[in-house]
Amino acid sequence: MANVAVIGAQWGDEGKGKVVDWLASRADIVVRFQGGHNAGHTLVVGNQVYKLSLLPSGVVRGKLGVIGNGVVLDPDALLSEISRVTAQGLSVTPENLRIAENVPLILPLHSAIDKAREVARGAHAIGTTGRGIGPAYEDKVARRAIRLSDLAEPEVLSHKLDELLLHHNTLLKGLGAETFDKQDLLDRLLALAPKLLPYAEPVWELMDAAHHAGKRVLFEGAQAVMLDVDHGTYPFVTSSNTVAGNAAAGAGVGPKQIGYVLGIAKAYTTRVGSGPFPTELKDDTGRLLGERGHEFGTVTGRPRRCGWFDACMVRQAVKVGGIEGLVLTKLDVLDGLKELRICTGYQVDGQVLKRLPASIAAQEKAVPVYEVLNGWSGSTRGARSYAELPAEAVKYVRRIEELVEAQVVLLSTSPDRDDTIMLRDPFAG
């Protein structure tokens, strides 16, 4: 049986939570390989709703969860999340959660610099969550990050904080923000050490052992392809690579171990925060999609912008993300609409493009080219087979498959994990 990597095929918030929960119940190990606590998955299990930002979804199903080295970890956010799910009846201990010893940590100064920069940008703000994700990745690349393993070595930690504060306090002072005291940070980190170090492990060894033992692994991506720092709508992106190829680097495994790549897309399109959105609807239809789909960010609570399905963008995500099969979620939100539209390209300066241009100026000029399809009068909600779907709904799904050049292997028709039409088992490879 193959491993599976799950990634978003749009701008995030595609309903990955339900899908990864469904897959996690069939996996042995679930690994988060990138991002931070700016991402969120909502899992509905019976009468319980779990909102996860850092914890791998497998912990809800009693499976081993792993936070890989490709993640940037906020210790306070993690401990708060563990406390929250523990109050809901889950057990999270070093027995079922392991964290890469070389994972970079997010410190309070990262959030401070993140927010100060957004304020300084004014009207040109990127729309970050202000949680310090970007600055933490910057420190990682600049080789000044504090890593989990450093908490076990107070002298090393003290020296590294000197270098870190030399950089960040200078920036914070220049931005008119409050600076940080080294001793306060050092005391804070040393107090966290006994709470975090029991989870630390050379995850690459754990993953190698799991591979040789034939364990089934689910690589759980955060955000989505069009938020990838290289391939997304730059600079309105996250600060890590969100494509499936990064699962190898972010978990410490060879590329052949990633397995089958599953992309998640809504039956329409949403986006949180700033940035280009060619198919955005600012009319009653857009508001209707938002209301029916309960479109609010899991982490931020911000309302999501809504629009028609962008097949051109998802096709691009399929190609650069290595997506082999597609999951289409929230099909039921489209029930009752008389007319549906799918974007098949963009008009930019008199040319029709079949891709989203790299230039931010060109992205903002992009006018969608639509194909119009009939809606359906029946209900798709709760359907568990294609035979239960209205004929026009099946045509809509089939047309999406043709345009994005990928097969829909799973179809979600409600938030209930059992309301899923499976056409192919991702773990079968």
pLDDT at site 191:
97
Is residue 258 within 8 Å of residue 286, measured between CB atoms? no
Q: Annotation-wise, does 86 bind a ligand?
A: no
Residue with the larger pLDDT of the pair 249 and 57: 249
pTM of the model: 0.93
Tokens 């001793």 belong to which residue?
Answer: 183
Q: Where in the chain is the domain with CATH 1.10.300.10?
A: 108-196
Average pLDDT of every residue of the chain:
92
Q: Which fold has domain 265-428?
A: Adenylosuccinate Synthetase; Chain A, domain 3 (3.90.170)
Task: Give me the active site residues, please.
Answer: 13, 41, 140
pLDDT at residue 425 tops 90: no
Question: What is residue 424's predicted lDDT score, i.e. its pLDDT?
Answer: 87
Largest CA distance in the chain: 68
Percent of the chain at pLDDT exceeding 90: 76
Encode pLDDT of 7-57 as tens digits. Answer: 999 998 898 888 888 888 889 999 999 999 987 777 777 778 888 889 998
User: Does 248 score more than 70 pLDDT?
Assistant: yes
Distances (CA, A) of 5 to 120, 218, 314: 38, 6, 17
- Which one of 3.40.440.10, 3.40.190.10, 3.50.50.60, 3.40.50.1980 gives the CATH number of domain 4-99+200-260? 3.40.440.10
**How would residue 294 be classed by pLDDT, with cut points 50, 70 and 90?**
confident
244 is in an annotated binding site: no
**39 annotated as a binding-site residue:** yes
The per-residue pLDDT for 171 is: 92
Residue 38 annotated as binding site: yes
CATH fold of 108-196 reads Adenylosuccinate Synthetase, subunit A; domain 2 (1.10.300)
Which position has the higher pLDDT, 296 or 197? 197
Q: Which residues belong to CATH 3.40.440.10 in the chain?
A: 4-99+200-260
- Residue 294 labeled ligand binder: no
CA atoms within 13 A on the CB side of 305: 14
